[in-house]
Chain A
Amino acid sequence: MALLEVDRLQTHFRTPDGVNRAVDGVSFSIEKGETLAVVGESGCGKSVTAMSIMRLIAEPPGKSAGEIRFEGRDLLKLSEKEMKKIRGDDISMIFQEPMTSLNPVLKVGRQIGESLRLHQGLDRGQAEDKAVEMLQLVGIPEPKRRAGEYPHQLSGGMRQRVMIAMALACSPKLLIADEPTTALDVTIQAQILDLMRDLKDRVGAAILIITHDLGVVAEVADRVVVMYAGRKVEEAPVRDLFAKPRHPYTRGLLGAVPKLGSSLEGKTEKLAEIPGIVPSLKTKIEGCVFAGRCPEAEDVCREFAPALEEKAPRHVAACHFSPREQEAAA
Chain B
Amino acid sequence: MTAPLLEVNDLKMHFPIGGGLFGKLHKFVYAVDGLSFRVERGETLSLVGESGCGKSTVGRAILRLLKPTGGQVVLAGRRIDDMSSGVLRPIRRRVQVVFQDPFSSLNPRIRVRDALAEPINNFGLAKDKAELSRKLNMLMDKVGLPREALGRWPHEFSGGQRQRIGIARALAAEPDLIVCDEAVSALDVSVKAQIVNLLQELQQELGLALLFISHDLAIVEHMTHRVAVMYLGKIAEIGTKRQIFARPRHPYTEALLSAVPKPDPLAKRDRIMLKGDVPSPINPPSGCRFHTRCPYVFDRCRTEEPRLKEVERGHEAACHLNDRTAPENPLLSGGRA
Residue interface bits A140-157, CB-to-B below 8 A is 1, else 0: 000000000000000111
Q: How many residues of A contact B (CB 8 A)?
A: 49
Residue interface bits B168-192, CB-to-A below 8 A is 1, else 0: 0000000000000000000011111
Expressed in whole angstroms, the Cα–Cα distance for A219 and B191 within the complex equals 23
Supposing A215-B260, A271-B196, A273-B190 touch, asked if A264 and B265 sit within 8 A by C-beta, the answer is: no
Is B194's CB under 8 angstroms from A273's CB? yes
What are 18 sample pairs from A and B whose C-beta atoms fall under 8 A apart? A41-B189, A41-B191, A157-B277, A186-B50, A186-B259, A187-B274, A214-B263, A221-B265, A258-B219, A259-B264, A260-B221, A263-B241, A264-B242, A264-B337, A271-B193, A277-B158, A277-B161, A277-B191
Is B197's CB under 8 angstroms from A271's CB? yes
Residue interface bits B315-333, CB-to-A below 8 A is 1, else 0: 0000000000000000000
Q: Using CB atoms, name the residue of chain A closest to B293.
A: A187
Q: How many residues of B contact A (CB 8 A)?
A: 45
Point out the residue from B160, B188, B218 that lies within 8 Å of A212, measured CB to CB: B188
Supposing A242-B265, A271-B197 touch, asked if A190 and B271 sit within 8 A by C-beta, the answer is: yes
Is A256's CB under 8 angstroms from B193's CB? yes
* Of listed A186, A217, A277, residue having the most chain B CB within 10 A: A186
* CB-defined contacts of A256 to chain B, threshold 8 Å: 189-190, 192-193
* CB-defined contacts of A41 to chain B, threshold 8 Å: 188-191
CB distance from B43 to the nearest CB of A (A): 15
Q: Using CB atoms, name the residue of chain A closest to B264.
A: A218
Question: Any chain A CB within 8 A of the CB of B51?
Answer: yes
Question: Any chain B CB within 8 A of the CB of A62?
Answer: no
Expressed in whole angstroms, the Cα–Cα distance for A213 and B259 within the complex equals 14
Question: Any chain A CB within 8 A of the CB of B257?
Answer: yes
Expressed in whole angstroms, the Cα–Cα distance for A212 and B189 within the complex equals 8
Supposing A190-B273, A191-B273 touch, asked if A217 and B188 sit within 8 A by C-beta, the answer is: no
Is B257's CB under 8 angstroms from A260's CB? yes
Is A258's CB under 8 angstroms from B218's CB? yes
Expressed in whole angstroms, the Cα–Cα distance for A270 and B278 within the complex equals 34
* CB-defined contacts of A272 to chain B, threshold 8 Å: 193
* CB-defined contacts of B158 to chain A, threshold 8 Å: 277-278
* CB-defined contacts of A216 to chain B, threshold 8 Å: 261
Is B277's CB under 8 angstroms from A273's CB? no
Expressed in whole angstroms, the Cα–Cα distance for A259 and B264 within the complex equals 9
Question: Any chain B CB within 8 A of the CB of A188?
Answer: yes
Question: Any chain B CB within 8 A of the CB of A308?
Answer: no
* Of listed B218, B221, B222, B255, residue having the most chain A CB within 10 A: B222
Is B215's CB under 8 angstroms from A215's CB? no
Expressed in whole angstroms, the Cα–Cα distance for A157 and B267 within the complex equals 25
* CB-defined contacts of A218 to chain B, threshold 8 Å: 261-265, 267
Is A273's CB under 8 angstroms from B197's CB? yes
Question: Any chain B CB within 8 A of the CB of A238?
Answer: yes
Question: Any chain A CB within 8 A of the CB of B256?
Answer: yes
Question: Any chain A CB within 8 A of the CB of B269?
Answer: yes
Expressed in whole angstroms, the Cα–Cα distance for A20 and B264 within the complex equals 34
Is B269's CB under 8 angstroms from A219's CB? yes
CB distance from B204 to the nearest CB of A (A): 11
Residue interface bits A244-282, CB-to-B below 8 A is 1, else 0: 000000001111111111111000101111110110000
Expressed in whole angstroms, the Cα–Cα distance for A242 and B262 within the complex equals 11
Question: Any chain B CB within 8 A of the CB of A185?
Answer: yes
Question: Any chain A CB within 8 A of the CB of B65?
Answer: no
Question: Any chain A CB within 8 A of the CB of B282?
Answer: no
CB distance from B260 to the nearest CB of A (A): 5
Is A158's CB under 8 angstroms from B277's CB? yes
Question: Any chain A CB within 8 A of the CB of B130?
Answer: no
* CB-defined contacts of A255 to chain B, threshold 8 Å: 193
**B293-333 interface (Cβ within 8 A of A):** none
**A211-247 interface (Cβ within 8 A of B):** 212-219, 221, 238-239, 242
Residue interface bits B5-35, CB-to-A below 8 A is 1, else 0: 0000000000000000000000000000000
